[in-house]
Structure 1
């Protein structure tokens, strides 16, 4: 399954990238006690706990500011490839393209993911759009 979001906001690309990076670094520090430098994030991985008895490995595939933030999340059930691309339109506007590709591990997991994927996919898409809107509001002071 694949999700794609394409949205343009009135926020400079550097501000968007900084907010995404801050969120990622906060999560890394919370999970590991470490805080890598942005220039060292590509290739960095850590184990994240998602809730009761669930965890996964997050590996940064490409972090090149202020344009790309890509990572892979691997759990027992699924692998998610997430990529944020930030395209500068002008000094004040950014086009954000987010793609997420989900791979299911095993036949029954694939069936389950297809069955619930449509509903959960829509919810996840709304959450990501709400996060983008929050970045825009933070920049514009609304």
Structure 2
């Protein structure tokens, strides 16, 4: 999946909103709050619902341009990367890429079927997050 969208907000503002959410999630799951400069390579375990957990590892966090992480569960591994490209002082191109690798043939087949039906909703949810960030900036 790839999303490319231009946001009417500076990349520093967008990056700050992404990192705030990230740090909140880390603190909620670990009771720790690492410094942004220490996020690359940082790992923690997150609970998704009742019976699913995953390991989150930050692959690259470079303020204010890149936020990349890997989520590994017992079924899949997801690689997510946000790139923020400055257009001017008020506009930013945001590129979000996500890839998924299934663990096992049947999981891969199941993921293909599910993505046909629900892939559009995930993309829509990500665009909604970007729209909310833009609204937060414009509302300032």
Q: Which residue of 1 aligns with 2:134?
A: 136
The 3-state SS of whatever aligns with 2:87 is strand
Shift of 1:53: 1.0
Unmatched 5+ stretches in structure 1 = none
Distance 1:73 1:120 in 2: 19
Q: Which residue of 2 aligns with 1:6?
A: 4
The 3-state SS of whatever aligns with 1:76 is coil
Unmatched 5+ stretches in structure 2 = none
The number of aligned residues is 140
Question: What aligned pairs does 1:105-116 form with structure 2 within 5 A after superposition?
Answer: 105-116=103-114
Is 2:93 the partner of 1:95? Answer: yes
* RMSD of Structure 2 on Structure 1 (CA): 0.8
Taking structure 2 as the reference length, the TM-score comes to 0.98
The 3-state SS of whatever aligns with 1:123 is helix
Shift of 1:119: 1.9
Shift of 1:106: 0.1
Is 2:120 the partner of 1:122? Answer: yes
Deviations 1:117-142 (A, max 9, x none): 12221111000000000000000018
Distance 1:138 1:10 in 2: 10
Deviations 1:79-101 (A, max 9, x none): 00000000000000000000000
Distance 1:72 1:108 in 2: 22
Q: Which residue of 2 aligns with 1:49?
A: 47
